[in-house]
Structure 1
Amino acid sequence: MQLLIISILLVFPTLILLRKQVLAILILSINLLSNLYFIIPFYTETSIPSTDNHFKISSINLLSSNSNRELTINYIENEDPDVLILMELTPEWLSSLEPVIGNYQYTEIVPRNDNFGIALLSKYQMKSSVDYFSLNDKPSIIGNVSGMEQEFTVVATHPVPPIGQQSFLNRNKQLSNIVKDIPRFSKNLIIAGDFNTSSFSPHFDSLLKQNLKDSRIGFGLLPTWPADHNVLQTTLDHFLVSKHLQVTKRATGPDIGSDHLPITMTIGLKTL
């Protein structure tokens, strides 16, 4: 999006100052059109199907150092998701969120003193386990959720940020290893969390080749990071879903004091 905006801003100066420089104008036009090609699908209207039931899921990167607990609690209470994912969950955060967590009967909670604590909470029956996807000591959670006559697999994950070559490789391997395990998951699959990658990365694109779709299509880019720098924001927090699932709502939440905005998605379900 930032490249598209820059291209648009450069159009008129280029036409005025370099009107005889055909090559410069051609290159700028190609750049503008190529960026439009990737962005337009996110804003193309999609028809919202008529469904009998809805399944709502929220994902929040809390930011381990965030001390503004009330904003986070208010967001969770207002959204009231059926399934809730929490990342950067520290013991202190866990204590603060106990009233909210009490609303969820089924939980898998892994608090940590670093930035990789994680939790998966469900109001529907859930069988869950912690998985490291054969890579490192950063936990992900797999939850098999039964609700509204449907079976879902929710994979909550938080790969390391690509700071340095080894971290870059570890992030890519973790996402790749999750995809390799797709055959053992339910046909109704949701992979969610802070992926620490933009959707315009080729490593993200490779995930979409596995019968998955980006839940934002038709709802906008919905950037999430950094929360307090609108112009520079990109999308690091994602919901990937099985292609046959119908996303009826997809949105980012308000600034809750974290460096990430929270995200929520609703899937429309037909009763079997």
Structure 2
Amino acid sequence: MLLPTLTLLTCFLLIVTLLPISNHTHWLIRGLDFPRLQIAIAAILLLIFQLIVLEITRPSSLLLICVSGFCLFWQSWWIVPYTPLFPREVKRAEKNSQKPSLKILTANVLTPNRNSQALISLVKQHKPDVLVTLESDQWWQNQLSVLEDDMPYTIKCPLDNLYGMHVYSRLPLTETETCYLVEDGVPSMHASVRLSDRVRVRVHFLHPSPPSPTENPESQERDAELIVVAKSIADSAQPIVVTGDLNDVAWSETTRLFRKISGLLDPRIGRGMFNTFHADYPFIRWPLDHLFHSEHFTVKSIKRMPSIGSDHFPLLTTLVFSPKAIPENEGIDASAEDRSRADEIVEKENVSKSEIPQPTAHAK
């Protein structure tokens, strides 16, 4: 009885490990990108149990152990970069640097959540240069209006469909634009933020819809929005930041493709996962809220903030403008196959990089 049970568990582990490799866009398959850490933990426990109870000399036992070991290796390959065991992709900022910095607080507030004071308190305590809220409706806009004395530059798009978005900034915002790139009712925001008289940064705030049984049965819409923004950035030498709730995990194939095509860097690599969702369930968490940036920056800090009553934790990231660090920061390159796949993704949704606003940015 024990061997059939272990065989069944090992086959299930193999299936959930192999299915995402297909790149099929169905929500059930793409959803298996999310719990890679949990699947890796399950593989460790199963492997330990197999080593204890099975006779390793038997071919059937050895096969089960090898399969579990492969699954553990494969899941670990995706998640280890988001631990301190891996080299940092972005260098640490110099201590006491006097260079211009950009502190961004990204917060999915959860529309029905009414604990606005928790977010307001975080903003007053940490004083971010830019606050971007996701899922913020008219009620949230009314509550957050108290921030406008200190953060007078705003972009507002209150919606009651879980895709409202707001940006509040201490720093001047110019060329602001709200777009619906792939789906009606799912906005993105684009602007130029002035760090100093000599430095302006192009910023993109995103919140594409997720693949799920209640929204989009396929991931095509989400993937297309991420990749078309990546393609619009690819050939730019400007300082750029992209942030938001991307409804995708940091280690998914789609997010990895976004990084390859855009050339942007992920400050979490070599530092930690910074799992922001689900705030209520410690054992079911993954990194859904992201910040990527161009090679013009180093990282002063990146922190997951305390709960604000949402199902997401806010993410606070401080970047330092350090153009001399360009040769030291290392991203990942796109292959011809990657570029072909990116073209295929955006063509399916009939969206072009020419539709993406390209706010002015410069670094003198």
Deviates more, 1:126-135 or 1:163-172: 163-172
Q: TM-score by structure 2 length? A: 0.70
The runs of 4+ residues in structure 1 deviating greater than 6 Å are none
Q: Which runs of 5+ in 1 are unaligned?
A: none
Q: 1:32 aligns with which of 53, 67, 72?
A: 72
Shift of the 115–186 alpha-carbon distance from structure 1 to 2, 3 Å rule, reads: farther
Q: What's the CA shift for 1:266?
A: 0.8
Q: What is aligned with 1:136?
A: 184
Q: How does 1:94-173 map to 2 (within 5 A)?
A: 94-127=141-174, 128-133=176-181, 135-148=183-196, 149-164=198-213, 165=216, 168-173=219-224
State whether residues 86 and 120 of structure 1, in contact with CA within 8 Å, keep that contact through their aligned partners in structure 2.
Answer: yes
Give the number of the structure whose residues are more often strand, by fraction. 1
Q: Which residue of 2 is the match for residue 82 of structure 1?
A: 129
- Whether the 8 Å CA contact 2:180–2:186 is kept in 1: the answer is yes
Q: Judge conservation of contact 1:160–1:167 (CA < 8 Å) in 2.
A: no
Q: Distance in 1 between matches of 2:114 and 2:237?
A: 37
- 1:179 equivalent in structure 2: 230
Matched-pair identity in %: 27
One-letter code of the match for 1:110? C
Cα deviation for residue 145 of structure 1 reads 0.8
Residues 1:71 and 1:133: Cα distance change in structure 2 (over 3 Å): same
Say yes or no: does 1:43 pair with 2:87. Answer: no
In the alignment, is the contact (CA less than 8 A) between 2:202 and 2:240 conserved in 1?
yes
Q: State the distance in 2 between where 1:184 and 1:105 align.
A: 32
Contact 2:79 2:251 in 1 (8 A): no
What whole-Å deviation, never above 9, does each CA across 1:50-99 have from its counterpart, x for those lacking one?
13232211111111100112211112222211111111111111111111
| 1:202 and 2:238 are equivalent in the alignment | no
For the residue of structure 2 that corresponds to 1:120, the secondary structure is: strand
Residue identity opposite 1:40 in structure 2: V
Aligned equivalent of 1:248:
300
CA deviation after TM superposition for structure 1 residue 167, in Å: 5.5
**2:102 match: secondary structure:** strand
Equivalent-residue separation in structure 2 for 1:179 and 1:69 (angstroms): 32
Secondary structure at the residue paired with 1:197? coil
- Contact 1:134/1:177 (8 A) holds in 2: no
The aligned counterpart of 2:103 is 56
Structure 1 residues 110, 24: CA separation in 2 closer, same or farther (over 3 Å shift)? same
Deviations 1:15-65 (A, max 9, x none): 111232111112222222233322222223645231323221111111110
Match for residue 19 of structure 1 among 55, 68, 73: 55
Bigger radius of gyration among the two? 2
Q: How far apart in 1 are the matches of 2:146 and 2:177?
A: 23
Q: How many residues align?
A: 272
Shift of 1:135: 4.3
Give the SS at the match of 1:32: helix
Aligned-residue RMSD, C-alpha: 2.0
Cα distance in 2 between the residues matched to 1:117 and 1:185: 28
**Would the aligned equivalents of 1:52 and 1:269 in 2 still touch at CA under 8 Å?**
no
How far residue 215 of structure 1 moved from its aligned partner, in angstroms, is 2.2
Q: Deviations over 1:158-213 (max 9, x none)?
A: 11121245562211111122122225866211111111111232111110102112
The superposition leaves residues 199-243 of structure 1 with CA deviations (integer Å, 9 ceiling, x where unpaired) of 232111110102112221122111111111011111111111113
* C-alpha distance in 1 between matches for 2:199 and 2:131: 18
In the alignment, which of 259, 262, 266 is matched to residue 314 of structure 2?
262
Structure 2 regions of 5+ residues with no counterpart? 1-36, 324-363
Secondary structure at 2:283 match in 1 = helix
Change (3 A) 1:185 1:60: farther
1:134 CA drift (Å): 5.0
